[in-house]
Structures are given as structure tokens and as C-alpha cells.
Amino acid sequence: MNRFRLGGMWGFILRRMLLGIVVLILVSILVFLATQALPGDPARAILGRSATPASLAALRRQLHLDQPVLEQYLTWVTGLLHGNLGTSLAAQEPVSTLLSPKLVNSAVLVALAAVLSIPLSIAIGAWAALKREKAFDTASSNLLLVLAALPEFVVALVLVILFATTVFHVLPAISTVPPGSRPWNNWVALVLPTITLVIAVAPYVARIMRASMIEVLESDYVEMARLKGLPERTVLIRHALPNALGPVFQVIALNLAYLAGGIIVVEFVFNYSGIGGAIQEAVVNHDLPVVQALAMLIAAVYVVLNLLADVATILVTPRLRTRL
Amino acid sequence: MSQVSGVAMPVAEVPTPPVRGTSLLRRSLRLWRTRIGVALVGVIVLLAIVGPYVAPYGPSTPVGAPNSDPGGKAVLGTDYLGQDVLSRVLYGGRSILVMAVIATALGLVAGTVIGLVAAYSRNALDDILMRAMDVIMALPQIMLALVAVAIVGPHAWVIVTAIALTTAPRIARVARGAAQPVVERDFIACSEAMGVPRWRILSGELLPNTLGPLMVEASLRLTYSIGVIAALAFLGLSPNPNGANWGTMIQQNEIVLAVQPWGAAAPIIAIALLTMGTGLIGDGIARTAAGIDRARGEE
């Protein structure tokens, strides 16, 4: 029985992985075709109106635009799979060399935000569910509702006005990471970007945690546990909390994937040297290889996080395993 | 999500008439949060529409020294180029609002059609449509918009199309989720047996039964559309790079925050009030719809 269940679960993970790979292949086609099918000649868009025919032809060759579409796609995808993300048109450097230090910086920021926001929002949501309709619940859900509605760059700039430039002058408004330095060498600069990202994610997770916890607290097995005379602490931590976490993983994964997008604007606000700033620069410069590489990267993050969330949900919700 | 919540909901056998969209809106207005939301959105929309007619100066008229403090000729001071901040705020809302509303409306229509067709088809088409939606959703809204802008340029139609394209799958998911239990109900089978055309079943039977969740999702999507369009302008990607636009204003005056905060703070407040308003309206509708569902469950 145990082996059967395990097999069912591995089968499920395998199916989900295959689906994820299919999604990624389709995204790669979408991202690639976008550069082909949309109006305008990429070479001309990059070089501008004053480009000479010779330089246009040279750039088309460099971008493999002179090859048939299918061949171009295969060249690009094969490169991706070998870690060759192409050459940046603006910097004339391999995209991977250009992006890897920035990738580390962004990952540090996202990881920091995740480590802080997940326990915080789970605690807020669970506490609000326990104090349902009381002062803490009302206050926290109204505050979270308002925070959830604000775009990240608005949150970021309000924090800058409050803590850096105008009201108080306690934190830096700019969080540049100089080349060769690491983000944690200047941790004060990380405070505001991290708080911004925490505010971007926490409301959603806290809200779903509250709803899920309320459902669990009203369930028969929690009542049963209470009737058995278990101490309230045990009821909450051993019986209610693990079951309430199931739906929360999905939302955490979605929000972390969302962070990969939200970070673009937040990094731009703080002039933080991560992939967000790189995307903005690449878009302004029509640096298509960088844009394509980052789009694929963010899509991959999304697919992987969703897969992890599905697996985690199954692991913490035993009753779902039997239905695989 | 249905897989996660797991517990089968008892389905009321009594056919309940759908709550019409207008009556849902009217009922949600009994909640204070909806009223505050409507008031906030109303004020900002009015500001954006009437603003250009009542602005004391043109959006690009120099009225004084750059970054001068509020007072005198310029109520909110001047920006980094010496233009009147108040006038630029009054001019700068229209394009964001118009683009956000058009993009959300297009995404709403496309997403609803896709979601309802998927739910109603009950065959491979359902899978194909929803997997296609998954592909689009693998890219965050702003990322897809940035890819489009990188290739074609920051034209209004590119931004609107990109936002509509990324709004549609999220709406489609909600529409399909809400329509799926309805498709199994007897009155749908009854309409089919009576030979009612498919599009009539979709528009006359399925759509009214999914309006509640769709309206909640639509207000959420409008909130995001405003945020993304303003963010693109803030990143320097708007149809008119020097025009009066709240996002552009914030970007241009961010560097002088320490000297003259209003150039950036005024448009920040405008965007914040607008998105808070749409957020509150959405929550009000959601609570009202949930309240109606609960009351029906207890009947």
C-alpha cells in the first residue's frame, strides 16, 4: 500500500514535470515568435533610422535573421540549453556573463523577502483567524486590503519619502551594488527594497492563510481534538496549522513567481543592480537577446515554483494522496 | 484550487435565480468599504477627466524656477523643469485611465468568452484552451508587456494589447471555474434539449451565473492594469515620453525628492488613491457575493 502510494506520487510529480516542460517549450516559441511575427525589422529597431544597409545586414547575420525561422529557433533553443544565452547587443558581451552577478543580487533580494514575508504572513493570517471579527482581525485585514491594492513602485516610493528623503532621513534611498561587491556588504541598503517586496507578497498569503485557517478551525476533526480534551496549543499547532497550510503553498508559489516580475520595478526605484534594472535597460536599448533570456528565466522560475507548490501541497495534505 | 480545497460542496438542488450584476453592485454599496472605494475612484476619475479643463497652466508651460516650493503661482510647486506640478497632475491621469480601462475591458471580454467556452465544451477543447492560458500566465504581466515594448516600441496599442493579453487568461480561469458547476446543472441540459443555440446558452444561462466572481476578478484586474501601465511609464516606457503622465512624472521627479517632494508625491498619491479605490470596490463586491452564497447555503 505504501509503495503504491509512493508510486502514485512519483507518477504525479513526473506528469507535472512533463507539463512544466511543455509550458516552457511553448513559452520559448511565444517569446521567439514575438521577435519574428511582430511588425518591424528588429535590426532596424535596434540600429535606428540612420542605419546603413551594410550595418543592418551585419546585425541581421549576428542575430541569425538571415536564416529560416525554424532554424533560427533551433539555434536559439540549443544555445539556451547549453547555457549560451546569446550576446548582448548593447554591451557586446555574452548575456550570461552580463547577467550572472545581477542574478545573484536579485536572488538575494527575493530570498530575503521570501524568508521574512512567508512566516510573517502565515502568522498574521493564523492570528487573524483565531481572533476572527475582533480588533486585530479587522485592523489587519483592512490594512492588508489597502496594501495589496498599491502597485509595488508606489509602495517603494512612499517608503523612500517616509524613511529616506523627506520625513525621516534614516535609510538610504539608493541601493546600488557596485561591481565586485555583494549585496550583504551594505545591508542597510537592502532594508527598503526588502520591505517593499514583503509588502507586495504578505497581503495575499495572509489573506488565504486566514481563510484556510478559519475553514480548518470549523472542521469536525478540530472539534474532535478539542472534545478529546487536548490542550488548545496542541490542537492549533498539531491539528489545525498543518492542514491549513495546504492551500497556502499555492499562493506562496504564485506570489514568489510574481516577485520575479515585481522585482523589475522595485530594483529600478532603488537603482539596485539586479535583473530588474537589466531588463529595463535592455528594453530601452532594444537589446533583444537580453530580453529573451530574462523572459525565459522568469518563466522557468514560475514553472519550477508551481511544481514545487503542487508537490508541497500533496505532501502536507495526506487526503489528496489517495486520489492521485 | 478545487483539487486543494478537496471537500465536495453540497450543491443546492433548488434552482436559484442568478443575482444580476447591477443588483450585486447595488447590494455591495451597503458596505462602507465599497462606498469609500467608489468615492475614491470617482474623485480620481473626475480629476482625470475634468482636470485638463481646469488646470491653471498647460502641461509643459514653464511657470517658474525648477523645483520651487509650493506657494505663489504654483500651488504644489514646480517640477524639475519648472513646470507646474498641479497642472501636470491634472493632465496626467487621462492616458493611464483610458489605457487601463480599454485593456481590462478587452481582457475581460476575451477571457470570459474563452473561460465559458472551455467550461461548456467539456472535451479536449477545454484542456487546449486552459493550457494555452497557462503558457501566457507563465510570464508576469509586466514581463510580457516589456517584451512587447522592447520589440515594437512603447506605443499605446502595444501596451493595451499586452495588458489585455495577460488579463484574459486570469479572467478565463475564474470564468471557467465559476461556470463549471453550472454546466452540470439540469437547466443547461434542459435548454440543450429544447434546442437553444449554443451562444444563447453561453450568454443567457452561463454568463449571468458567473457574474459575481467575474466582477470581483475584473476589479482586481483593473487595479493591476493601472499599476502595470503606470509602472511602464515610470520605467520610461510610455507613448509620449515627455508628456504629462503620472508614471512619467514620478520617474522624472524621483531624483529631486529631497528638494521638492511634490513633483513625485502628488502623482504617487493619485495612483495610490485610485488603486486603493478599485481594490476596495472589488473587496466589497466579493464580500457581498460571498454573503449571498452563504445565505443561499442556509436556505
B233-284 per-position pLDDT tens digit: 888 888 877 778 888 888 888 877 777 788 788 889 999 999 999 989 988 8
- Output B274 or A30, whichever has higher pLDDT: B274
Residues of B in contact with A262 (CB under 8 A): 140, 142
Give the residue from B136, B151, B161, B163 with the most A CB atoms within 10 Å of its CB, the best one to mutate.
B151
Least CB–CB distance from B148: residue in A34, A264, A292: A34
Residue B195 confidence (pLDDT): 80
Calculate what percentage of chain B has a pLDDT beyond 70: 91
- Closest residue, chain B, to A153 (C-alpha): B231
CA dist A164 and B214 (Å) reads 41
Least CB–CB distance from B268: residue in A35, A154, A319: A154
Calculate what percentage of chain A has a pLDDT beyond 90: 1
Give the CA diameter of chain A. 84
B268/A246 CB distance under 8 A: no
Residue B289 confidence (pLDDT): 80
B257/A160 CB distance under 8 A: yes
CA dist B199 and B210 (Å) reads 15
Least CB–CB distance from B275: residue in A142, A151, A298: A151
Q: Which CB contacts under 8 angstroms, 24+ apart, belong to B51-56? A: B51/B89, B51/B90, B51/B91, B51/B93, B51/B94, B52/B90, B52/B91, B52/B94, B54/B90, B55/B84, B55/B86, B55/B87, B55/B90, B55/B91, B56/B84, B56/B86, B56/B87
B152/A165 CB distance under 8 A: no
Residue B237 confidence (pLDDT): 85
Give the distance from residue B105's alpha carbon to the nearest chain A alpha carbon, in angstroms. Answer: 19
* 3-class DSSP assignment, residue A68: coil
- Highest average pLDDT, of A9-13, A235-239, B214-218, comes from B214-218
Residue A17, pLDDT above cutoff 70: yes
Residue B3, pLDDT above cutoff 70: no
Give the residue from B34, B127, B268 with the most A CB atoms within 10 Å of its CB, the best one to mutate.
B268
B231/A152 CB distance under 8 A: yes
Residue-wise burial string across A193-226, b where 16 or more C-beta atoms lie within 10 A, e elsewhere: bbbbbbbbbbbbbbbbbbbbbbbbbebeebeebe
pLDDT band at residue B298 under the 50/70/90 scheme: low
Least CB–CB distance from A260: residue in B140, B223, B254: B140
Residues of A in contact with B223 (CB under 8 A): 149
Residue A49 confidence (pLDDT): 67
pLDDT tens per residue, range A156-194 = 888 888 887 777 777 777 777 777 777 777 777 788 889
Residue A7 confidence (pLDDT): 56
Residue B21 confidence (pLDDT): 63
Residue B13 confidence (pLDDT): 44
Mean per-residue pLDDT, A54-76? 77
Residue A317, pLDDT above cutoff 80: no
Give the distance from residue A121's alpha carbon to the nearest chain B alpha carbon, in angstroms. Answer: 19
Residue A38, pLDDT above cutoff 50: yes
Give the distance from residue B46's alpha carbon to the nearest chain A alpha carbon, in angstroms. Answer: 20
Residue B271 confidence (pLDDT): 92
Residue B17 confidence (pLDDT): 55
Question: Is A31:A295 a contact under the CB 8 Å cutoff?
Answer: yes
pLDDT band at residue B9 under the 50/70/90 scheme: very low
Least CB–CB distance from A299: residue in B33, B138, B223: B138
A166/B261 CB distance under 8 A: yes
- Closest residue, chain A, to B144 (C-alpha): A295
Give the distance from residue B195's alpha carbon to the nearest chain A alpha carbon, in angstroms. Answer: 37
Residues of B in contact with A284 (CB under 8 A): 236-237
CB atoms within 10 A of CB A228: 9
A280/B236 CB distance under 8 A: yes
- Which ranges constitute the DSSP H helices of B29-123? 32-54, 85-91, 94-121
Number of A to B CB contacts under 8 A, please give it. Answer: 161
Calculate what percentage of chain A has a pLDDT beyond 70: 89
Single-letter residue type at A233: R
Least CB–CB distance from A291: residue in B147, B250, B257: B147
CA dist A307 and A299 (Å) reads 12
- Closest residue, chain B, to A256 (C-alpha): B140
Residue A57 confidence (pLDDT): 80
Mean per-residue pLDDT, A63-84? 78
Residue B113 confidence (pLDDT): 92
Mean pLDDT over all residues of chain A?
80
B230/A269 CB distance under 8 A: no
Mean per-residue pLDDT, B166-190? 85
Residues of A in contact with B148 (CB under 8 A): 34, 38
- Which ranges constitute the DSSP H helices of chain A? 2-37, 42-47, 53-62, 69-81, 95-130, 135-149, 152-160, 191-217, 220-227, 232-234, 241-270, 275-284, 288-316, 318-321
pLDDT tens per residue, range A233-278 = 888 888 788 888 877 887 888 888 778 778 888 888 888 888 888 8
Give the distance from residue A157's alpha carbon to the nearest chain B alpha carbon, in angstroms. Answer: 8
Residue B66 confidence (pLDDT): 74
DSSP state, residue A189: G
Residue-wise burial string across A237-256, b where 16 or more C-beta atoms lie within 10 A, e elsewhere: eebbbebbbbbbbbbbbbbb
pTM greater than 0.95 (yes/no):
no
At residue A181, what are phi and psi to the nearest 5 degrees? -95, 165
pLDDT band at residue A20 under the 50/70/90 scheme: confident
A247/B235 CB distance under 8 A: no
* 3-class DSSP assignment, residue B62: strand
At residue A134, what are phi and psi to the nearest 5 degrees? -90, 180
Give the residue from A157, A214, A316 with the most B CB atoms within 10 Å of its CB, the best one to mutate.
A157
- Which range (A27-36, A96-105, A226-235, B110-119) has the least confidence? A27-36
- Which range (B41-55, B58-72, B148-162, B249-263) has the least confidence? B58-72
Residues of A in contact with B271 (CB under 8 A): 151, 154
Residues of A in contact with B136 (CB under 8 A): 30
Residue A318 confidence (pLDDT): 63
B278/A149 CB distance under 8 A: yes
B4/A246 CB distance under 8 A: yes
Least CB–CB distance from A157: residue in B136, B143, B254: B254
Residue A41 confidence (pLDDT): 64
